[in-house]
Structure 1
């Protein structure tokens, strides 16, 4: 019987070029990984009902569903469409009994240079989504992205910014709104430890791990396997544990020229090995 790897989750983007949802779950089970974080397109490919059935049958923890968000848009119709799509994402996360719905909030609307206005659209979009998420029992996790993504993917770029939104919309720290802290995006932040402690257990909803390669050849699809780059992963793990986070560390690696080209079982075996050795 395969030994269960406690404290490790696999974001299924890590093997999205090798496997679909079913094959990825089967691979995780072979390697003792009992927690996953799927993407909505992977779930849609086999159907939400079937994905939820597999999760229940195998007793898997779903550490997050990726993703809702992308709230900024040039007009009201576009902004409402993003909110409506995120409503569906909440329902999908509820069906999967996910620990949270990850929000990648979106960048500047087309032809805009108004990043302040874009950030207000993000806050307004989350405010519109939050009552539905509360009713569904799905916490929302804002994921701040590295500043290099500010224009096109996420105009919320630090934990401080994400937590400011949380405090504005959920001042009671109800557990309904928090952050997904991805080391790839946040490792450089001089306020990282202070903001993790500020977040605390009510706001720390997910912890994503990988590594930052030097050089990084592509800002989206050249993440490193843990231990291959410059991030002090043990130090950040100590920070999140001091902040009260006790959930699994979720490996999320986009790697077009390396890990996506390797056999899925080799990728998972390496994830387990590195998780035990360097995280």
Structure 2
């Protein structure tokens, strides 16, 4: 039985499976959508990854990740843009629904978060002609404010949509519940994204209490405090019905379990908790 409502972000099984093994596991579980990371693509080779996707008729809901635009020098900013151009080529080769951007934080030595956000907008604008020519949509992923300094200076859906408004319809958002569930304006922001037709991806996991590591202690759906069904309804009311992409970084729990076990639990939780 195929489950077209789930996409596996390959970070979820990265400690036990490479790209090919993860695809085999997904197919055993009836999951036909994936979202790989660029290091996983590189490890197997882009041509081989594209062959696996094509021959198994997989949907690639996203490629993770582009972004990381801010830098202290013009040369550094250009190097980051060049890397994003390569990421576009990889997303195009896999016929991905979008290239997900984790946009980057403050340049070394900087306290100017506004300036960092301008670098992000400028960086996306610089990569956009190549993205359009390649048929690749760009999805800005707002990250929780705890990452504002080092990973992402764009922290709410509204901030991301402000950038989208300036850059056009091929730039949208990836809504990851882990990063946005806390936002008091979440319902309005998702509705705004729907009106703009800019929801390109929907990532799910859960927020554990307590969270022992702010990067590597995400929870399985249903084990934390996020209102997953409520957010899913907001996103569907906004017009997005794509697969829910399960993305769990969990160094002390889920990364230690057999991949087939993890996928079985994912399927159960998506059916009962999301």
Where in structure 2 are there 5+ consecutive unaligned residues? none
Alignment of 1:31-46 (within 5 A): 31-46=29-44
Tell me what 2:262 maps to: 267
Match of 1:222 among 205, 217, 220: 217
CA distance in 2, matches of 1:6, 1:134: 27
Pair 1:13-2:11 in alignment: yes
Specify which of 251, 254, 257 is matched with residue 256 of structure 1.
251
**Separation in structure 1 between the aligned mates of residue 17 and residue 132 of structure 2, nearest angstrom:** 33
**Cα deviation code 1:202-259 (max 9, x no counterpart):** 2000000000000000000000000000000000000000111011000000000000
SS in 1 for 2:248: coil
Tell me what 1:182 maps to.
176
Q: What TM-score, normalized to structure 2?
A: 0.99
- Note the 1:1-279 alignment, pairs <5 A: 3-170=1-168, 174=169, 176-200=170-194, 202-279=197-274
Structure 1 residue ranges (4+ consecutive) displaced by more than 3 angstroms after TM superposition: none
SS where residue 208 of structure 1 aligns? strand
CA contact (8 A) 2:142 2:156 kept: yes
Report the alpha carbon displacement of residue 31 of structure 1 after superposing the two structures with TM: 0.5
Cα distance in 2, alignment partners of residues 202 and 91 from structure 1: 24
> Aligned equivalents of 2:197 and 2:242: distance in 1?
12
Q: Which runs of 5+ in 1 are unaligned?
A: none
SS of match in other structure, 1:103:
strand
- Residue 48 of structure 1 and its aligned partner are, at CA, apart by 0.2
- Counterpart Cα distance in 2 of 1:203 and 1:130: 15
SS at match of 2:197: helix
Q: CA deviation at 1:6?
A: 2.4
How far apart are the structure 1 equivalents of 2:86 and 2:129?
13
Aligned residues: 273
The 8 Å contact of residues 4 and 33 in structure 2, kept in 1 or not, is answered as no
3-state SS of paired residue (1:67)? strand
CA-to-partner distance for each residue in 1:44-102, whole Å, 9 max, x for gaps? 00100000000000000000000001000000000000000000000000000000000
Distance in 1 of aligned mates of 2:44 and 2:111: 39
Q: Deviations over 1:18-61 (max 9, x none)?
A: 01000000000000110000000000001000000000000000
SS in 1 for 2:218: coil
In the alignment, the residues of structure 2 paired with residue 210 and residue 106 of structure 1 have an alpha-carbon distance, to the nearest angstrom, of 22
String of CA shifts for 1:120-161, please: whole Å, max 9, x gaps.
000000010111101100000000000000000000000010
Distance (whole Å) between structure 2 residues aligned to residue 219 and residue 69 of structure 1: 20
Q: What is the RMSD computed on CA atoms of the aligned residues?
A: 0.6
